[in-house]
Amino acid sequence: MTSTQLTLVRHGRTIWHAENRYAGVSDVPLDDTGRAQAAALAEWAREHPHDVLVCSPVSRARQTTAPVAAALGVEAEVVADLREVDFGIAEGRTLAELRAADPAVADAFVADPVRHPFPGAEPPAAAAERVLGALRGVVERHCGTSVLVVAHNTALRLALCAWLGIPLAHYRDVLPRLDNAAATRLRVPADPARPPALLGLNVPTRSAQIQRRT
């Protein structure tokens, strides 16, 4: 049976991400750098065509996806369960600000984010199940094609760990971050009982000239 080529891309930068603030479900738009990253991703997509384009419903993901859709000549499929994790009390704050306000909460999260998520946050295990279910659904609907998915840093890292058999408690250690507009490539077998092959992680989609400017 035919495998599916899945490319996972984190959305372009926002001002909150530039400041290392947790955006989560907060609807923060792309900044100038993020828009440049989206345009560069579209140029990359012209050279690396995909059959299907999928994105999170959050505006920063949709803004990143729009120029890619134009470049590929396809309409993006919006999947609600690809949204970012809700970070509860951490929304809009940096880890340093959280540590200053409540060191015990911040330290517990860093030590084990699964057992000690931020108060009011979506549990990481639930988020991993949600996002992985969405990705598996995309593969099932578009089996045997190449699919480009634009989503979010923590949502995708949790799903990747769950899919690859990495303990969720270590997601921040094993996958410190997915870079904005970088590509993570998977080959997903048709047999859902088998794990995907990780073909590339954080592969740049921007030229060196753009990277130097930003």
Tens digits of per-residue pLDDT, 63-107? 999 999 999 999 999 999 999 999 999 999 999 999 999 999 999
Q: What pLDDT was estimated at residue 13?
A: 98
pTM as predicted: 0.94
- Asked if residue 207 has pLDDT above 80, the reply is no
What average pLDDT does range 112-130 have in this prediction?
98
Report the pLDDT averaged over residues 128-139: 98
Tell me: pLDDT of 209 over 70. Answer: no
Cβ 153 vs Cβ 178: under 8 Å: yes
| 113 CB burial (10 A radius; 0-12, 13-18, 19+) | buried
Q: Which numeric CATH code is attached to 4-87+122-213?
A: 3.40.50.1240
What pLDDT, on a 0 to 100 scale, did the predictor assign at position 211? Answer: 42
Mean pLDDT across the chain: 95
> Would you state the pLDDT for residue 49?
97
Averaged pLDDT for residues 153-165: 98
Judged against a pLDDT cut of 60, whether residue 147 lies above it is answered with: yes
pLDDT confidence bin for 206, thresholds 50/70/90? confident
pLDDT value of residue 101: 97
Tell me which residue of 196, 142, 205, 135 sits closest to 164, measured CA to CA. 196
Q: Is the predicted pLDDT of residue 208 greater than 50, yes or no?
A: no
Q: Is the pLDDT of residue 213 over 50?
A: no
Would you place residue 151 in the very low, low, confident or very high pLDDT band (cuts 50, 70, 90)?
A: very high
